[in-house]
Amino acid sequence: MSGLGKGITTASIGRLLKNRGYLVTAVKIDPYLNIDAGTMNPAQHGEVFVLSDGGEVDLDLGNYERFLDINLKSIHNITTGKVYRNVIEKERRGDFLGATVQIIPHITDEIKHCIRRAALEPVNGGKVADVCMVEVGGTVGDIESMPFLEAVRQMHGELAPDEMILVHVTLVPMDTMGDFKTKPTQHSVKALRELGLQPDIIVARSSDVIGPQTKKKISTFTDVPVKAVVSAKDAPDIYQIPMELEKEGLADVVCSYLSLENREPDPAWYRVVSKEYTNRVTVAIVSKYGIEDVYMSIKESLKHAGRALSTEVNIRWLDAETFDLRDLADVDGILIPGGFGKRGIEGKIRAIQYAREKKKPFLGLCLGFQLAVIEYARHVLGIEDATSEEMGEGTHVIAILPEQEGVSDLGGTMRLGNCDVTLKEGTTVAGLYGKTAIVERHRHRYEVNPEFIAELEGAGLVFSGTCGPRMEACEIPEHPFYLATQFHPEFKSSPTNPSPPYVGFVEACKKNKLTSEVR
Ligand code: GLN
């Protein structure tokens, strides 16, 4: 079932294995017909995560990258759209030699091929993983996921018993008397068995820890041994989940089923994710959608930077169309995320102006960078009608990227993924990265209009990052912390590798809090 935490469970099991020294990779299967998440509405489906190769994918791949410190590729997100496209292309080429092309075996063969290919892709350009986690999205019983579950069944038959295990994540709700109900689990396991799948492990998601009696009951109905029925209760912080699953003995079961030596887990990661907080800051995120999942990577990046600085980051979500400037008075920093389209941009520009004038720490990302340039053009350069070409009439200080002109397809056509960025020596951003050559991920169609660069710089805006003729970052030297980037540093942040712009921003928020307390 969606929203249950299959992605975090997948990432967490992977982490348990990684803590034991195994190399882990991960694949997400999304049974929708879209080729990728690029054209999907984030309000419905959550953030579109961007991979280094430019793949626009499901946000679960972000969790895998953050939990496992790996760089995945587009091939690690398998969708019905991609699978059918491959099969139909083969059919048109005549590869099937006259055969009737069918879901079984052609689609299921293609699914198995896609899983194997992704599993065999070297991790971070090095070795092939010891274990590949495969998350099958959707709900057991849905028409959409049938071919995938059938492919899983076939693979299970093709492999040795210790080469593949099945983990079933189920909901164990609590009734009004405070008793856990195992019925939904009984039924979903029954549905799985009808498809020829018997789970090896059950991860029972619940609001509280499920005890031995409930586990026993689930075990009796499902033939899964009690030790392989694992309680996974709601957790306030996702990074604590591997630890909770460790306590439940899940890693021992996984290792024994997969005939992997159960090595002593390295505690280093737990130390990083449970570093004590000694202080707390409040950051305002002024955004178009009131849905936190849309800004998942930003939220997580603030957490990573906060942990590293022993600072809890409390987020105040403000609706760009309705917020009041007074809502910004007591925050320690203001963040403007990426986005598309006109709605909410005037509010975001007002928030940026406030941050600039009141000297509040400011971090702008992608659209946030473009709006910072627009705000500067309007209020410092005096170009009153400054705007972005994306937004309609006005003076276009932000214009379409030349290579984007005439592009009509929306899917997979933006400037996407890794690009080299050169940082200007002596600037804030170069200081944060500690070097001048960096690589960050992108997802945009518009850029700073080259015709206005000299004028903007003449008025004090420093373009501190570039990629050839493209402007990639800007800052204001006299401001305590004012940094905006055309790239999305949040797609490369993890607990063990917090993103430099976020670290700089949270650090500045800390300082802001101290000085405002003194005042
Ligand atoms: N809409 C802007 C562009 O296409 C910004 C994109 C973004 O914020 N990801 O350039």
Q: What is the pLDDT of residues 354-393, one digit of tens each?
A: 999 999 999 999 999 999 999 999 999 999 999 999 999 9
Q: Percent of the chain having pLDDT more than 90?
A: 96
pTM over 0.75? The answer is yes
Q: For residues 338 and 327, what is the distance between their CA atoms, to the nearest angstrom? A: 21
Same fold, 6-268 and 278-518: yes
What ligand 1 atom has the least distance to the C-alpha of 443?
9
Handedness of CA 339, 344, 350, 354 (dihedral sign): negative
Tell me how far the alpha carbon of residue 446 lies from the centroid of ligand 1, in angstroms.
Answer: 6
What tokens does 343 get? 């709605």
Q: What is the pLDDT of residues 214-260, one digit of tens each?
A: 999 999 999 999 999 999 999 999 999 999 999 999 999 999 999 99
Active-site residue among 132, 488, 507, 509? 488
Q: Catalytic site residue 490? A: yes
Tell me how far the alpha carbon of residue 255 lies from the centroid of ligand 1, in angstroms.
Answer: 44
Strand order of the β-sheet with 386-388 is 386-388, 395-400, 446-448
Instruction: Tell me the angle at which helices 183-194 and 212-222 cross, rounded to the nearest 10 degrees.
Output: 30
What tokens does 512 get? 């802001």
What ligand 1 atom has the least distance to the C-alpha of 488?
9
Q: For residues 49 and 43, what is the distance between their CA atoms, to the nearest angstrom? A: 14
What is the pLDDT, as a whole number, of residue 291? 85
What is the pLDDT, as a whole number, of residue 502? 98
Q: What is the pLDDT of residues 75-108, one digit of tens each?
A: 999 999 999 999 999 999 999 999 999 999 999 9
Active-site residue among 76, 168, 304, 366? 366
What tokens does 29 get? 């299967």
Residue 292: which pLDDT band, with cuts at 50, 70 and 90?
A: confident
Pairing of strands 311-319, 279-287: parallel
Res. 141: pLDDT tops 90: no
What is the pLDDT, as a whole number, of residue 376? 98
**Mean pLDDT confidence for 417-445:** 98
What ligand 1 atom has the least distance to the C-alpha of 447?
10
Pairing of strands 437-444, 415-423: antiparallel
Task: Please state the domain extents for the chain.
Answer: 6-268, 278-518
- 57 DSSP β-pair partners: 49
Q: Residue 241: count other Cβ atoms within 10 Å of its Cβ.
A: 23
Tokens 């499901």 correspond to 58
Q: For residues 48 and 66, what is the distance between their CA atoms, to the nearest angstrom? A: 15
Tokens 């689990």 correspond to 185
Tell me how far the alpha carbon of residue 151 lies from the centroid of ligand 1, in angstroms.
Answer: 38
**Mean pLDDT confidence for 501-519:** 92
User: Strand locations in 137-261, DSSP E?
Assistant: 167-171, 201-206, 229-233
User: Strand locations in 84-228, DSSP E?
Assistant: 131-136, 167-171, 201-206
Q: Catalytic site residue 132? A: no
What is the pLDDT, as a whole number, of residue 518? 75
What is the pLDDT, as a whole number, of residue 121? 98
Ligand 1, CB within 6 Å, residue ranges: 338-340, 366-367, 370, 390, 443-446
What tokens does 438 get? 């960096």
Q: Which one-letter amino acid corresponds to residue 10?
A: T
> Across the chain, what does the average pLDDT equal?
96
Q: What is the pLDDT of residues 22-72, one digit of tens each?
A: 999 999 999 999 999 999 999 988 999 999 999 999 999 999 999 999 999
Q: Which CATH class is domain 6-268?
A: alpha beta
Within 13 Å and on the Cβ side, how many CA atoms surround 208?
9
Q: Residue 290: count other Cβ atoms within 10 Å of its Cβ.
A: 12
Query: Which of 47, 400, 443, 485 for mutating ligand 1's site (highest number of atoms within 8 Å of CB)?
Result: 443
Among protein residues, the one whose CA lies closest to atom 5 of ligand 1: 367
What is the pLDDT, as a whole number, of residue 294? 94
What ligand 1 atom has the least distance to the C-alpha of 390?
1
Q: For residues 512 and 419, what is the distance between their CA atoms, to the nearest angstrom? A: 32
What is the pLDDT, as a whole number, of residue 139? 86
Q: For residues 366 and 491, what is the distance between their CA atoms, to the nearest angstrom? A: 12
Q: Which one-letter amino acid corresponds to residue 375?
A: E
Tell me how far the alpha carbon of residue 483 lies from the centroid of ligand 1, in angstroms.
Answer: 17
Residue 519: which pLDDT band, with cuts at 50, 70 and 90?
A: low
φ/ψ (deg, to 5) at 320: -60, -25
**Mean pLDDT confidence for 421-439:** 98
Active-site residue among 56, 150, 490, 507? 490
**What is the homologous superfamily of the domain 278-518 according to CATH?**
Class I glutamine amidotransferase (GATase) domain (3.40.50.880)
Q: For residues 87 and 90, what is the distance between their CA atoms, to the nearest angstrom? A: 5
Q: Catalytic site residue 168? A: no
Preceding omega of 469 cis (within 30 degrees of 0): no
Tokens 């607990």 correspond to 495
Cβ 464 vs Cβ 373: under 8 Å: no
CB neighbours of 519 closer than 8 A, spacing ≥ 6? none
Q: CB burial class (10 A; 0-12, 13-18, 19+) of residue 157?
A: exposed
Q: For residues 29 and 63, what is the distance between their CA atoms, to the nearest angstrom? A: 14
Residue 280: which pLDDT band, with cuts at 50, 70 and 90?
A: very high
DSSP 405: T
Query: Which of 343, 345, 390, 410 for mutating ligand 1's site (highest number of atoms within 8 Å of CB)?
Result: 390
